[in-house]
Amino acid sequence: MPVTDARGLPDGEQIEADLVIVGGGIAGLILAHELAQSAVRVAILEGGGLEPDAELQKLYDGPAVMKGPGNPDRTINSYLGQSRVRALGGSGHVWGGKCGPLDAIDFASRPWRPLSGWPFGRKELTPYYDRACDHLKLPRFPQDGGLPQGTPFKPLGEATAALRASPRAYSPLSGRVDPAAFRRFCDAPARAQNIHIYLYANVTALRLNGAGEVDHLELRCLNGPQMTARGRRYVLAAGGIENARLLLASNKERPEGVANASDWVGRCFQGHVVITTGVDDPRGDAEAMLATSQDLALYDNQPRDRPHAVFVLDPQEQQRLGVGNCTMTLSLQPKPAPKAGALGASAIQLYGAIEGRTAQALDFFLMSEEAPDRDSRITLSAETDALGQPRAQLEWRYGQSDWDSLNGSATGFAMAFGGQGLGRICWPVDTKDVLTSMSPSRHHMGTTRMSATPSQGVVDADCRAHEVANLYVAGSSVFPTSGLVNPTLTLAALAIRLADHLKRDLGAA
Ligand SMILES: Cc1cc2nc3c(=O)[nH]c(=O)nc-3n(C[C@H](O)[C@H](O)[C@H](O)COP(=O)(O)OP(=O)(O)OC[C@H]3O[C@@H](n4cnc5c(N)ncnc54)[C@H](O)[C@@H]3O)c2cc1C
């Protein structure tokens, strides 16, 4: 079926399909790839065109602020507009392609982490991770968290029980890496008989029928026609912020929005806390000093053509320290060792001369899991966009537990490195400066969280809205906790799992 520019359709056009997907980003497209050539008639309603467009991108703008205890508020009003892309392919046009599966602990209910626990464990996703790797042209990751087969290097973390090496690989399927291949990935579903992609088709509302199911969607083109779309099932795949915005803005039948009786839509917004010691850190004096240069090629995250490892703290160590999941990634760009006197007041100063060895100083970045917080949230602004839709606004809140977890994780890594004589870590980030020191994560998670029971979230383990029987959500907005890896491989795995479910549900399996 074709790719249709919806701006050329007559006003009042009614689009019909078995399955209507809102959004053609990586989540919506992988879902469509999986349903290609099946008996399910699919319509993808994509708000953007084939390439990013400044006018359409402005629909994403909205106010945003980061807040955390003991830190001055940090206004980041360009964030909502600049941390995603409104075009077919979505943020896939710009993403870095860094991928890995979540760790088993990311799915676990951890007594020391409130609101933690997915409705299923890591094992459930294993076959879907494999298929997601195939879509994203990645090596498959072993379930035990080891390195992909054929990796020739020995993990440095084997030297200590507290550290594990955790594999990552880069997908070449990014508009930034191979635009032609990425375009083929975006267009391919429309070459199947059963799939129709509509461009410039902005969904503005989900309308419910008397039974509380989605009856139809309202659509508008910027300065163009208004339409409706009807299906037997609907999947929201508009991204981690926009999924929540659409549900909240669809308030004609329910003032609180769709699927929001339990008041979780838009809440628990999470990214990842990332402290980088390289270019992003104005002080530039946090460093890892490694005592050895052996085996370090495995930790070099610069080459995109082979898997690399990052350090993760062992689950038992996380529990002992009471921290969330966390990783440390080295950047193998040796630089002259700084003088100890230049360090200032460090939270942890294990850095120092390593006796009898030739140490090398390296940049690193520490990524730490953010705790779900109901008050960290997307809401609707009083301001409207060019389609007349209320803009999204973000209040991104961190709690004391996030600061404690960050400092505790840095301590954990420093102790593990220092205790084994592997190296030293210098960590000078003062708690009162965390918000200004961190780079705002472009991983948008948690705003339509998955839960076993309706009182604890928006969608169930099948990604179906607890309250709306014919509505599903795809994308990282369903993650109840962020876990500690870039989210796209997991959202792709969940989209594939959803495709299998929908085939069965629609009698096409
Ligand atoms: C600079 C950058 C670097 C990144 N690097 C990485 C990385 O290395 N690894 C990683 O895992 N992740 C990374 N990410 C995150 C990654 O890009 C996202 O996780 C992923 O692209 C999300 O896919 P999605 O389909 O869920 O959402 P999106 O990509 O946001 O797609 C949503 C789609 O819905 C459309 N849409 C939105 N609203 C509407 C509407 N109302 N009606 C119709 N259509 C609509 C949009 O146009 C878009 O096509 C990065 C992100 C950025 C910005």
3-state secondary structure of 412: helix
Of ligand 1's listed atoms, the one at least distance from the Cα of 88 is 49
pLDDT of residue 363: 76
Write out the H or E segment, with its range, that includes residue 392. Answer: strand 390-397
Which of these, 198, 202, 199, 197, lies nearest to 386 by C-alpha position? 202
pLDDT of residue 242: 98
List pLDDT tens digits, range 409-429.
Answer: 988 988 888 787 777 777 767
What distance in Å separates the CA atoms of residue 270 and residue 113, rounded to the nearest whole number?
14
In angstroms, the Cα distances linking 365 to 95, 359, 413, 437 are 18, 19, 12, 12
Amino acid at 194: N
pLDDT of residue 342: 41
Q: How far apart are the CA of 441 and the centre of ligand 1, in A?
A: 13
Residues sharing a CB contact under 8 Å with residue 385, sequence separation 6 or more, in sequence order: 58, 59, 61, 391
The stretch 125-135 carries a mean pLDDT of 97
Of ligand 1's listed atoms, the one at least distance from the Cα of 491 is 26
What distance in Å separates the CA atoms of residue 242 and residue 253, rounded to the nearest whole number?
20
CA nearest ligand 1 atom 48, residue? 90
List pLDDT tens digits, range 182-211.
Answer: 999 999 999 999 999 999 999 999 999 999
The residue ranges of every structural domain in the chain are 3-505
Q: How far apart are the CA of 281 and the centre of ligand 1, in A?
A: 26
Place of tokens 């460090």: 346
For residue 255, pLDDT beyond 50: yes
10 Å Cβ neighbour count for 302?
8
Q: Which residues pair with 287 in a beta bridge?
A: 426
What distance in Å separates the CA atoms of residue 116 and residue 358, rounded to the nearest whole number?
42
In angstroms, the Cα distances linking 340 to 17, 83, 350 are 66, 37, 10
What distance in Å separates the CA atoms of residue 424 and residue 417, rounded to the nearest whole number?
6
For residue 282, pLDDT beyond 50: no
Q: How far apart are the CA of 24 and the centre of ligand 1, in A?
A: 9
Of ligand 1's listed atoms, the one at least distance from the Cα of 96 is 8
Which of these, 153, 160, 171, 378, lies nearest to 266 by C-alpha position? 378
Of ligand 1's listed atoms, the one at least distance from the Cα of 201 is 43
What distance in Å separates the CA atoms of residue 470 and residue 454, rounded to the nearest whole number?
15
What distance in Å separates the CA atoms of residue 373 and residue 171, rounded to the nearest whole number?
31
Could you say which DSSP state residue 47 is in? Answer: S
- Distance from CA of residue 172 to its chain's centroid? 18
Q: Which residues pair with 376 in a beta bridge?
A: none
What distance in Å separates the CA atoms of residue 22 and residue 20, rounded to the nearest whole number?
7
Site to substitute for ligand 1 among 5, 168, 242, most atoms within 8 A of C-beta: 242
Confidence band for 476, pLDDT divided at 50, 70 and 90:
very high
What distance in Å separates the CA atoms of residue 215 and residue 340, rounded to the nearest whole number?
66
Of ligand 1's listed atoms, the one at least distance from the Cα of 203 is 42
What are the backbone angles phi and psi of residue 475, rounded to the nearest 5°? 120, 175
The stretch 349-365 carries a mean pLDDT of 55
Q: How far apart are the CA of 56 and the centre of ligand 1, in A?
A: 15
Confidence band for 298, pLDDT divided at 50, 70 and 90:
confident
Q: In terms of residues, how long is the chain? A: 509
CA nearest ligand 1 atom 50, residue? 95
Give ligand 1 pocket residues (Cβ under 6 A): 22-28, 45-48, 83-84, 86-88, 90-92, 94-99, 202-203, 237-239, 242, 246, 442-443, 475-476, 486-488, 491
Contact of 39 with 504, CB cutoff 8 Å: no
For residue 277, pLDDT beyond 70: no
Residues sharing a CB contact under 8 Å with residue 180, sequence separation 6 or more, in sequence order: none
Of ligand 1's listed atoms, the one at least distance from the Cα of 48 is 47
Q: How far apart are the CA of 27 and the centre of ligand 1, in A?
A: 8
Which tops the pLDDT comparison, 61 or 292? 61
Buried b (16+ CB within 10 A) or exposed e, 237-268: bbbbbbbbbbbbbbbeebeebbbbbbebbbbb
> Is the torsion defined by CA of 226, 62, 405, 285 positive or negative?
positive
Which tops the pLDDT comparison, 459 or 2? 459
The stretch 306-314 carries a mean pLDDT of 88
Q: Which fold has domain 3-505?
A: FAD/NAD(P)-binding domain (3.50.50)
CA nearest ligand 1 atom 47, residue? 86
